[in-house]
């Protein structure tokens, strides 16, 4: 059974995630009822009682959801320690929210919920794009670069190309330990072979302030090209002693193009070396 321990641990965390998602949906439905009730203003005592009841039910569902998310996050942290991989559900986003609805009234609760959702699904911090090959295993280099970027950008949000092994997993694990929000940019499978490249183009819509691209294949080379065209500061990370593929070959070509490109290729990035 030891070979299946990680799958069982993932299932425990995912079970809490599924229940939290259901409670979240029920809270949304209750919030809509409350909003409709507030539009039908009536100065009667019955109306006031109905509003109070709906508000209390919405708060109760929010508290239950928060409890489930707390247990899921605890299970996820154990999963990370035991497997070295961050927990990621098959469906939906893994987000958590602090429970502040119990301290405010009905109208403020609705406004708070909307603002809270915007922050959950569109984090307001500056975005740092990250991508690397599935064969990239240099944990130390990834951590060093991410630590250096976070030192300069404490409120960073990490956007990865969401591959299920290699550099992206290392980066996601680092973010989970550091409490850095992660945007998983998965390719749209319906787009066929071009999906990863279309995903790369969409990542620029986040208006990233910086990027880290680890050695890999054509996906990483394509992303690096797009970042250069957009003039976004970028670090190229090469794994020592490995075949670094198109990203490094392109850097070597730049090194032959002139002194400035040579300096950039030698440093491994488009910023001063850390």
Q: Are strands 234-237 and 210-214 parallel, antiparallel or unpaired?
A: parallel
Answer whether residue 98 is part of any domain: yes
pLDDT value of position 228:
94
Q: Are residues 18 and 66 in the same domain?
A: yes
Q: Taking the model in full, what pTM does it have?
A: 0.58
Tally of structural domains, the chain:
2
Nearest in space to 139 (alpha carbons), one of 64, 84, 87: 84
What phi-psi label fits residue 84: left (phi over 0), alpha (psi between -120 and 50 degrees) or beta? left
Answer whether residue 238 is part of any domain: yes
Range of the domain at 222: 127-267
Tokens 């990027």 sit on residue: 211
Q: Reply yes or no on whether the pLDDT at 74 is more than 90.
A: no
DSSP character for 3?
Answer: G
Q: Please state which of the ranges 42-46, 49-53, 86-90 shows the lowest mean pLDDT.
A: 86-90
CA dihedral 163, 157, 234, 212 (to 10 degrees): -30
Structure-token pair, residue 45: 């005592």
Write down which residue in 121, 147, 171 finishes a domain. Answer: 121
Distance CA 71, CA 76 (A): 8
Answer whether residue 272 is part of any domain: no
Answer whether residue 37 is part of any domain: yes
Answer whether residue 157 is part of any domain: yes
Q: Reply yes or no on whether the pLDDT at 182 is more than 70.
A: yes
Q: Are residues 113 and 214 in the same domain?
A: no
Q: Are residues 149 and 117 in the same domain?
A: no
pLDDT one-digit tens code per residue, 204-237: 988 999 999 998 889 999 999 999 999 999 999 9
Q: Reply yes or no on whether the pLDDT at 270 is more than 60.
A: no
Answer whether residue 274 is part of any domain: no
Nearest in space to 204 (alpha carbons), one of 228, 184, 226, 222: 226
């Amino acid at each position: 059974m030891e070979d299946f321990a990680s799958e069982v641990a993932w299932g425990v965390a995912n079970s809490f995630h599924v229940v939290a998602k259901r409670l979240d949906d029920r809270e949304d439905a209750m919030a809509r009822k409350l909003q409709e009730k507030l539009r039908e203003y009536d100065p009667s005592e019955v109306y006031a009682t109905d509003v109070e009841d709906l508000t209390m039910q919405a708060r109760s569902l929010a508290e239950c959801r928060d409890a489930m998310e707390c247990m899921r996050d605890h299970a996820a942290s154990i999963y990370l320690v035991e497997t070295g991989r961050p927990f990621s559900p098959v469906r939906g986003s893994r987000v958590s929210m602090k429970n502040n609805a119990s301290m405010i009234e009905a109208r403020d609760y609705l406004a708070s919920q909307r603002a809270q959702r915007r922050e959950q699904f569109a984090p307001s911090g500056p975005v740092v794009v990250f991508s690397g090959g599935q064969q990239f295993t240099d944990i130390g280099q990834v951590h060093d670069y991410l630590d250096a970027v976070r030192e300069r950008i404490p409120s960073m949000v990490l956007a990865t190309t969401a591959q299920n092994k290699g550099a992206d997993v290392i980066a996601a694990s680092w973010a989970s330990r550091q409490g850095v929000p992660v945007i998983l940019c998965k390719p749209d499978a319906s787009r066929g072979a071009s999906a990863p490249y279309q995903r790369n183009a969409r990542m620029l819509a986040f208006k990233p302030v910086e990027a880290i691209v680890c050695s890999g294949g054509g996906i990483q080379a394509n992303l690096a090209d797009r970042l250069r065209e957009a003039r976004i500061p970028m670090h190229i990370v090469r794994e020592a002693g490995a075949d670094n593929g198109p990203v490094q070959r392109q850097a070597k070509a730049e090194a032959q193009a002139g002194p400035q490109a040579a300096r950039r290729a030698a440093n491994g990035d488009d910023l001063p070396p850390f």
